[in-house]
Structure 1
Amino acid sequence: MALAQSTATGPSEAEQQEAQPQTAAQAAASSRNPATLDRVSVTGSRIVRDTFTSVSPVQVINREESTLAGFSSTAGVLQSNSVTGGSSQINNAYGGFVVNGGPGVNTLSLRGLGATRTLVLLNGRRVAPAGSRGAVGSADLNVLPNMIIDRIEVLKDGASSIYGSDAVAGVVNVITRTRVDDTTVEFQRNFTKDGGADETRAGIMTGKIGDRWHLSGSLEMYQRSELTVGQRDWASDCPQPLLGRNADGTYGADDYIDPRTGRAKCWTIDDSGVTINTIGTASIAGIPGLGSVGSGANGNVFNRWRPNPGVTTGLPGYEGVSYYGRDSFDPGMLRESLVSPTKNTTGFIQGGFDLNTLGDAELYFEGLGHRRESRQTGYLQHTFDYPVGSPLLGSLSTLPAFLAAPADGSTNGRNVSVRAFVGWGPYNSWQEVDFFRATAGMRGNLGTQWNYDGYYSLARSDAAYFTENRLTNRIARSFDVVPDGSGGFVCRDRSDGCVAAPALSAALVGGDIPQAYRNYVMQDTRGQTVYTESTINFGVNGPLFDLPAGSVSSAIGVEHRRQEIDDTPDINSINSNLYGFTASQPTRGKDSVSEAYIEFEVPALSGLPFAQELTFNASARYTDYDSYGDDSTWKLGMLYTPVNWLSLRASRGTSFRAPALFEQFLGATSGFLSSSTDPCNEYGNRNPTSARYLNCASIGLPANFQQTNSVTSITRGGAETGLAAETSVAVTAGIVLQPEFPAWFGNLSFAADYYDIQVDNGVARLSGQNVMNLCYDSQPADFNAGAGQCSLIVRGANNGITVTSGYVNISESVVRGWDFTARYVREIGPGSFRTTAQVSNYLTQAGRTFPTDPLRNRTGTVAAPQYVGNLDMSYTIRKWVARYGLEWTASTNDYDYYETYFDTDYRPDYLLETGNYFLTSLSLQYRGDDWSATVGARNIGDKEPPMVSAGWGNRIGNAPLYSGYDYFGRTFFFNVSKSF
């Protein structure tokens, strides 16, 4: 996609002016006098300018270019590597992961600093957060319209002093068309070669311009179908093995082979470590299954068993299985969502009326309404915990206790004799998100040169979220059974239609769960999230006085914002009655902020030898939060053009960000961590004088201790624990080259911009694993006193751990790098050729939690590439446009990172590197007088995402979870539009 960046790659000034919104009076004046051009305000400054060149780098994306590139949604455009510089984005591939904003949300993170540090604007005004669950805090790109968009301006520079606290990493301003005087209908279809993830968008845009008024709007429906794991071989093939590299350096042949079938075990295809088709008991001597070796002198002692009707001794009906001999694959896993489906309906309306008074004032308004219906399919492993002596165990009712009574009460306080690990199958979650934003304001002139603009905006996101959940109290009731007189069992208490738990059998262990029981224990649970934001803003701008080089301009304004979140989970979640799922408390909180800003632009030199232009820009903002008090931010910038073909620019500014509402007030949310996260596992292998060894030994754990329980992790907001606001400093410096060549050569321009952003005291969630490690690595005196992080950990009598974590201030985050952009335009034959190339180079992506921690640079690691690039070439001849696109993600590896910071070499056993990754696209467009048609294909080579070993980070199938890789395969698209 051809993306313009500042003067080096932007449209001509005339093209840029033509793209600006106009009032009806301005449009009429332009039609009478074609030479009249509107003065424009470029994203990154509130001062009106008549040149596109700015102190800070601004990237411009026209809608025509996004259509040629095959994007069918604004979210897709904004999340492409060409905009984000290769940092990973939350999109519909994250449906099975816990993300801020809830499943189905699409957010934008510039420079990899997170969505809460990237500000999204619509026509220069904030897009309020939207989404579901308690962690709503960023704009959801789903709510943005598509058809009526004129262009998108991306400021990749800190701008808190201009726009407020969220503009730490940059600002995205989505600008709509206002001069609409006809009706246009449009239809786009994107469909994949192998099926799944098809996109359909249909819309209408209409408008009318009168003598003193204008009115326009659009209505669109967008739908993406589901892509399941089973629809892509790379996602459904057996995972790359955790261990085992072949002699030729390849991976994969040493996957776990089932000795019963001779086929790979696929342990485990969904990376969740589930065990199914197995039961757990106290350690008992029995008959080993084929290929399994247990403990004991003869290797025949097991605590995991698989049904085998031929076994009559030991544990009759069951054979012993070792860890990797267990089953972990169920065909139902192939029905999980790889890319979750969504259906979006978006309406946008805008208008204005000229008053012919109050300085040629215009009353204007905007309305944005959106509804998202999204869904995700996941997979469940279910455990049947049969209490000691339960009649449902039949001949195994005499077995001793295997586990202590679960703390959730699912066995009515009785110890567990047999735990059956059973594949429940797919389950669904879905969301209905309604969002609206209404804005009304007035703008006009103060005298002949000063302008004013004041508006009020109100936004509200109202989301209902649903999940199919098993209820713990119903499971407990189902195990309290009595004989039914016919050889079966019924619930002792049948007041709510209780269905008795099924008796233990080989069929049950194999996944044959009676439907009546499923219907009883699994219910639809519903939560609701409401987020509101209101904004009042008033500003003026214009020239102050004249200097020899030009006028000193200024912009002054005030703003007041108020936000409130109210998330109420399902009552069963609040009461911790969801079996095997997180429990959440309500998230409720509000905050408000009052701000005042001022900006100056000073033309110091102009039109002199070696000083064609020297302009300084300075801005400052005073911010006063109800929650975190006041602070001030500032920014200084400079643009120097010694000769016409060379410009130098630089800026330095500060930011102040109060924590988002969810970071402050998130209700306690419980989840589960793997038993392997217990810091005391096998602590005897450590140095006996180390703090962890001494601390684990002091609580009486044996040196070969191995945790058998999952760790309960509780996360809560940071307002109660002294969470502070974060600050940052951003530095940019760039060069723009536009040399003058002979006409036959064409036009060549180049821009290179360096950025350095350091966030101090940044707000981040400290994980339960972090808390445990910090506690068990602390000094023994602090550990035994339960001081510091140890006060957040409770180890029960059964060695079960509950750890409380939350949002804290971390020491430092640093992002440094370069953005390079080149554009070449030349007339060739009867047409015009244009090519744009962009490369982003991350020098540093580093952070540390505490000042004593090392600053670890993760750039170049898997899912954090050092380089990404885009090449766009187009040729326009009369009414035809042909386009070729190339996207590049550089090779990555984790080996160097772990060797550098942890002195660990993973090369012999793990595949933790990816090669250079290229995607190509082609398209052809015809533009008639009142209609156009575009056809093309993305990922022409049908390139699959790269593979890494199981056990590495977050994966989808065999691929890293990274938005820069294509999960769809070859995709065809066509777009048709017609104006009336």
Structure 2
Amino acid sequence: MMIRKSLSRNPLSFALATAMVFAASAPVFAQDSSSTQTPEEAEKAKSTTTFDTVTVTGSRIAKDTFNSVSPVQVVTREETLLAGFNSTTAALQSTAVTAGSSQINNAYGGYVTDGGPGANTLGLRGLGPTRTLILMNGRRVSPAGARGAVGSTDLNVLPNAIVDRVEILKDGASSIYGSDAVAGVINIITKTKVDGLTFEAQHNATDGGGGDERRYSIVFGQTGERSHFSGSYEYYTRNDLSLRDRDWTRCATDMYRDIDVGDYWGSGDFIDPLTGKSKCYTIDAGGVTINTIGTNTRTGVAAPGTSGTRFNRWRPNSAVTTGLAGYEGVNTWSRDTFDDAMLNQSLISPAKTHTLYFQGGFDLNALGDAELYYEFLGNKRKSTQTGYRQLSLDYAVGNPLIPANLRDSVAGPATNLTNGQPMGVRAFIGFGNDQSKQNVDFLRFNAGLRGHLGSEWNYDFNVMHSRSDADYTFQSFLTSRLAQSLDVVSNGSGGFVCRDASNGCIAAPPLNSNTIGGNLPADWKNWVFVPVTGNTLYKETTFNFNVNGPLFDMPYGSAGGAFGLEYRKADINDTPSQYSIDQDLFNLTASAPTRGNDSVFEAYGELELPLLSGVTAAEELSVNLSGRYTDYKSYGSDETYKIGGLWTPVKWLSFRASYGTSYRAPALFEQFLGGTTGFLSAANDPCDTYGEASPTSMRYINCASQGFDPEFIQTSGVTVITQGGAETGLSAETSKAKTAGIVLQPDFGSFGDLSFAADYFDIKVENGVRDAGGAAILTNCYNSSAADFTAGNGVCRLISRNPDTNALTVTNGFINVATEHVRGLDFTLRYVRDIGPGEFRSTVQITHYIEQTDQLFPEDPKVDSVGMLRSPQNTGTLDLAYKWKNWQVRYGLDWIDKTDSYAYYEENNPGLFDPATSQYKLYTPNYFVQALSVQYDADKWSVTGGVRNLADKEPPTISQGVYNTVGNAPLYSGYDYFGRSYFMNVTYSF
């Protein structure tokens, strides 16, 4: 099987990265107070608590050691505070946690994403958020968000001020935690014992304006002899950061180069005759055609920067008196595509959240010294996004609203606005800004009973219920009202009224320069452009019972065990606006309701076997075994397991390894998503100008078999209907995960404590659940064998073609097609030493990806995206801190490796993407972001302040037309869109 590599490796850069690793990177242990404790520090930490054992994320067995079979990274609240993060969301989506994987964050407000606009999700290893399990205090946080594709935890619901630490298990753990723990587990752990009252306030202000963040919180609690209670309330707000607020987004250009000029990016752009510079916001750079009309082809006067005399696109110009009087002809490059209102669009969408959290317990002095405990999390999110809308208004041939000299124009067939008549003139109007908003209420409550079974065994019974209730509103033109308003008759006074005056119809404006320029009557706008609202309700209920304790004595210790039962039921009910259900939203996606439920029963067990301890060549040798039986109502049953081992031949050296399997049933939206209609351009029809392909290619042969002329030109867009896969045989996906690591902790005495860990990871998902995408389905079908194509086998069954118009419709259901394979290395080095009056601490973390392979269909070649744009091969973080008395100073550095997509695109498009000659810029250099902070921590109060993105580093730039971009920057969560920002945090305790 051919594997496509994204680019040739640079030996020098890899050598430098490797040198950085071995010069500075720590074993990651689960811990309470720092991200890389040594065993001595762990013992000291244990002495301050009443517990003899702890439960490390990645295992349900409480142990008296912090060394773990699986790699666990710990990020403490102190570290996130010093780093300047104003929310748990931002901390979790940082490079230190995600290792360079792209995440859905607040820069994706204008895109269709799972969870809807405003949601923030997290996926480890680039395998997506549905394969990463989010826990809080060891119990799952259910999905939240808006629209039909709700299937992952929305990080916005998490508290911040009461968080003690976050443990990140970067290893598959489905047999321990459930089927969605494919790529890893994030466990947010709160402070369990709080006495008193603490106020906290933090303000993050950007140097360039816009995007400021403020958070005000109160943490409270009381601990008595038999009970404890604690909680927090937080208010968080983020201001809008618009495209206008940053220099690098105010003028997005094509950023093409002219080889004859030299290696100068932008020299190949179209030069705007009005400015003499590269044209801002062309069609490829995010602009839309505005201030223009489309007609039949006719003779006229060319606009500045345009050549020729025959045009079908025109711009109003009252000075033109010949040809088409009042209009000048424009082409693809000279037509208007930029409106100043475009700069009002959200770069970072604003939001407000209220988060209330309670936890507590009461000792019953019965049922085995049982504690009755409870936990409540409530979150309210209000988020908005500002967009920009173009209105394509179609006037029928002969419509009295058209000027007399254009009434004979026949620009195309009838559309859904021309009431059955051929289209005469299309007006491309810059309508202006629109708003989307989401109100999401999330509630999560759990209560349980935990105690002792005898002297050594413990039990825990828990019931949890979660509910996400979201209203989502956006503005849309209504197709029916637009069409009704364009069907007019004279009112006898020189004006017009609707032929059908029902529903309060208001006649559309005549076609003139004001209308084309976007100066539209307010009453007509209010009638045809309305807010539409839908609602998404997601509910999940969980019952869990587990026991753990020693099983039997072995020569070198007691074998530990943990066993449990779990039942989960989830329901989704998304009801779009009736206008959406009726497919009445003009040029927007139409959606049917998404309704469905599923349940699962699971039984699991885990064993910890100490094979050797305190003997020659085996200070510790232990094996961890876990297994889970899973039975889904929808997909039947399967078993998963995991085997792990830890060997410490000498005190300063440990080896660890694990192998596990998973079985993930599709998320509810993957099963039951209501039919959602979208569109692709006509150029996506494989038979469009297929004569340019080789006559021996399957695309050519299959198109010819349908009777198309090789010069066939498709004039209709491709309709794509995306829907859930429950009715099309969608099955559960499986995966395998392997890890192997080494931990070094040499004793340097007075020279300080050094710890180093290197872990190899290998995760392969097979039979993966994915919506293939309309374009991929079309390409795969038309490249299939003639026999399969003719018979409609495989994905060809998802395609239909209208025999009268030749328009294509693709059913893009979720199917089991994908194979994903990710391999790499995690390095962590930590060094701690007393220097002068204080303590110096340095930590380096680097992730190196060896492979990120994706194969959509079995017959497709494997594509390795390592090193390509948005998939850096290496990422790293450096953290240097010095603490003395009440003071602490911290310097941080985030690194994202250079990326390059030339090789992949050149293989598929020979001659177009040779880096030496291509007009496209498809690479980014190494990207570094620095941070500096200082903290003073007194007895009852503390102040922390600093600067993020110290050098005000802008994101790198690429050419348009290949990747989604923000301005000219790749749409990628790893780059900082805020710029330099200042933060100040103040706490005061009573």
TM-score, normalization by structure 2: 0.95
Unmatched runs of 5 consecutive residues or more in structure 2: 1-23
1:24 is aligned to none
Closer, same or farther: CA 900–6 of 1 in aligned 2, 3 Å:
farther
Aligned residue for 2:333, secondary structure, equals helix
Given residue 132 of structure 2, which amino acid in structure 1 is its aligned partner? T
Distance in 2 (CA, whole Å) between partners of 1:307 and 1:540 is: 77
Distance in 2 (CA, whole Å) between partners of 1:669 and 1:79 is: 29
Aligned residue for 2:401, secondary structure, equals helix
Closer, same or farther: CA 657–259 of 1 in aligned 2, 3 Å:
same
Residue 247 (structure 1) shift: 3.4
1:516-535: CA deviation from partner (whole Å, max 9, x where unpaired): 22111011100000000000
1:392-418: CA deviation from partner (whole Å, max 9, x where unpaired): 002145324212112xx3222222100
Matched, 1:6 2:6: no
Distance in 2 (CA, whole Å) between partners of 1:786 and 1:286 is: 48
**Same amino acid, percent of matched pairs:** 56
Given residue 922 of structure 1, which amino acid in structure 2 is its aligned partner? L
1:112 is aligned to 126
Matched, 1:169 2:183: yes
Q: Of 290, 294, 311, which residue of structure 2 is paired with 1:302? A: 311
Given residue 361 of structure 2, which amino acid in structure 1 is its aligned partner? G
2:385 is aligned to 376
1:1-40: CA deviation from partner (whole Å, max 9, x where unpaired): 99972279523557658879xxxxxxxxx9xxx6854310
Residue 289 (structure 1) shift: 2.5
Does the CA-based 8 Å contact 1:404-1:798 persist in structure 2?
Answer: no
Residue 142 (structure 1) shift: 0.4
Residue 513 (structure 1) shift: 1.8
- For residues 93-112 of structure 1, the aligned pairs below 5 Å read 93-112=107-126
1:490 is aligned to 497
- For residues 69-218 of structure 1, the aligned pairs below 5 Å read 69-218=83-232
1:878 is aligned to 885
1:663 is aligned to 670
Given residue 636 of structure 1, which amino acid in structure 2 is its aligned partner? I
Distance in 1 (CA, whole Å) between partners of 2:822 and 2:783 is: 29
Distance in 1 (CA, whole Å) between partners of 2:598 and 2:483 is: 42
Residue 691 (structure 1) shift: 1.7
Residue 492 (structure 1) shift: 2.0
2:401 is aligned to 392
Q: Of 872, 876, 884, which residue of structure 2 is paired with 1:869? A: 876
Matched, 1:754 2:760: yes
1:804-834: CA deviation from partner (whole Å, max 9, x where unpaired): 2121112410000000000000000000000
Residue 652 (structure 1) shift: 0.2
Matched, 1:578 2:585: yes
- For residues 762-841 of structure 1, the aligned pairs below 5 Å read 762-796=768-802, 797-841=804-848
Given residue 233 of structure 1, which amino acid in structure 2 is its aligned partner? D
Distance in 1 (CA, whole Å) between partners of 2:284 and 2:43 is: 52
Does the CA-based 8 Å contact 2:256-2:265 persist in structure 1?
Answer: no
Residue 243 (structure 1) shift: 5.6
2:574 is aligned to 567
1:88-137: CA deviation from partner (whole Å, max 9, x where unpaired): 11010000010000000000000000000000000000000000000000
Distance in 2 (CA, whole Å) between partners of 1:17 and 1:769 is: 58
Distance in 2 (CA, whole Å) between partners of 1:496 and 1:864 is: 52
1:358 is aligned to 367
Aligned residue for 1:647, secondary structure, equals strand
Aligned residue for 1:897, secondary structure, equals helix
Distance in 2 (CA, whole Å) between partners of 1:539 and 1:758 is: 30
Given residue 734 of structure 1, which amino acid in structure 2 is its aligned partner? G
Q: Of 32, 40, 64, which residue of structure 1 is paired with 2:54? A: 40
Residue 292 (structure 1) shift: 2.4
Q: Of 206, 217, 227, which residue of structure 1 is paired with 2:241? A: 227
Does the CA-based 8 Å contact 1:4-1:60 persist in structure 2?
Answer: no
Closer, same or farther: CA 397–246 of 1 in aligned 2, 3 Å:
closer
Residue 379 (structure 1) shift: 0.8
Aligned-CA RMSD value: 1.9
Residue 493 (structure 1) shift: 2.5
1:25 is aligned to none
2:526 is aligned to 519
Deviating more after overlay: 158-167 vs 709-718: 709-718
Residue 312 (structure 1) shift: 3.1
Q: Of 600, 615, 618, which residue of structure 2 is paired with 1:611? A: 618
Aligned residue for 1:757, secondary structure, equals strand
1:589 is aligned to 596
Residue 235 (structure 1) shift: 1.3
Distance in 1 (CA, whole Å) between partners of 2:649 and 2:311 is: 80
Aligned residue for 1:934, secondary structure, equals strand
Aligned residue for 1:323, secondary structure, equals coil
Aligned residue for 1:152, secondary structure, equals strand
Distance in 1 (CA, whole Å) between partners of 2:969 and 2:733 is: 34
Closer, same or farther: CA 397–318 of 1 in aligned 2, 3 Å:
closer
2:432 is aligned to 425
Distance in 2 (CA, whole Å) between partners of 1:213 and 1:460 is: 28
Aligned residue for 1:82, secondary structure, equals helix
Matched, 1:501 2:505: no
Aligned residue for 2:142, secondary structure, equals coil
Aligned residue for 1:523, secondary structure, equals strand
1:946 is aligned to 956
Distance in 2 (CA, whole Å) between partners of 1:93 and 1:270 is: 19
Matched, 1:966 2:980: no
Residue 244 (structure 1) shift: 3.6
Does the CA-based 8 Å contact 2:781-2:796 persist in structure 1?
Answer: yes
1:531 is aligned to 538
Closer, same or farther: CA 14–141 of 1 in aligned 2, 3 Å:
farther
Residue 713 (structure 1) shift: 1.3
Given residue 186 of structure 1, which amino acid in structure 2 is its aligned partner? E
1:773-832: CA deviation from partner (whole Å, max 9, x where unpaired): 122222334434444333332333334332221211124100000000000000000000
Does the CA-based 8 Å contact 1:240-1:251 persist in structure 2?
Answer: no
- For residues 322-361 of structure 1, the aligned pairs below 5 Å read 322-361=331-370
1:894-939: CA deviation from partner (whole Å, max 9, x where unpaired): 0122345665551221000000000000000000001100000000
Given residue 783 of structure 2, which amino acid in structure 1 is its aligned partner? D
2:986 is aligned to 976
Distance in 2 (CA, whole Å) between partners of 1:527 and 1:164 is: 31
Deviating more after overlay: 307-316 vs 812-821: 307-316
Distance in 1 (CA, whole Å) between partners of 2:776 and 2:339 is: 33
Distance in 2 (CA, whole Å) between partners of 1:325 and 1:698 is: 40
Distance in 2 (CA, whole Å) between partners of 1:874 and 1:900 is: 46
Matched, 1:446 2:446: no
1:658-699: CA deviation from partner (whole Å, max 9, x where unpaired): 000000000000112223322223221111122211232344
1:642 is aligned to 649
Given residue 36 of structure 2, which amino acid in structure 1 is its aligned partner? G
Does the CA-based 8 Å contact 1:245-1:910 persist in structure 2?
Answer: no
Residue 548 (structure 1) shift: 1.4
Does the CA-based 8 Å contact 1:888-1:917 persist in structure 2?
Answer: yes
1:867-887: CA deviation from partner (whole Å, max 9, x where unpaired): 000000000010000000000
Distance in 2 (CA, whole Å) between partners of 1:242 and 1:528 is: 44
Aligned residue for 2:527, secondary structure, equals helix
1:631 is aligned to 638
Q: Of 475, 485, 488, which residue of structure 2 is paired with 1:481? A: 488
Does the CA-based 8 Å contact 2:38-2:755 persist in structure 1?
Answer: no
TM-score, normalization by structure 1: 0.96
Q: Of 264, 268, 280, which residue of structure 1 is paired with 2:278? A: 264
Closer, same or farther: CA 68–960 of 1 in aligned 2, 3 Å:
same
Q: Of 896, 919, 926, which residue of structure 1 is paired with 2:929? A: 919
Distance in 2 (CA, whole Å) between partners of 1:804 and 1:268 is: 32
Given residue 332 of structure 1, which amino acid in structure 2 is its aligned partner? A
Does the CA-based 8 Å contact 2:35-2:76 persist in structure 1?
Answer: no
Deviating more after overlay: 319-328 vs 387-396: 319-328
1:541-564: CA deviation from partner (whole Å, max 9, x where unpaired): 000111111100000000000000
1:828-857: CA deviation from partner (whole Å, max 9, x where unpaired): 000000000000001111110222221110
Does the CA-based 8 Å contact 1:270-1:333 persist in structure 2?
Answer: no
Given residue 795 of structure 1, which amino acid in structure 2 is its aligned partner? R
Unmatched runs of 5 consecutive residues or more in structure 1: 21-29, 294-298
Closer, same or farther: CA 838–220 of 1 in aligned 2, 3 Å:
same
Distance in 2 (CA, whole Å) between partners of 1:617 and 1:3 is: 23
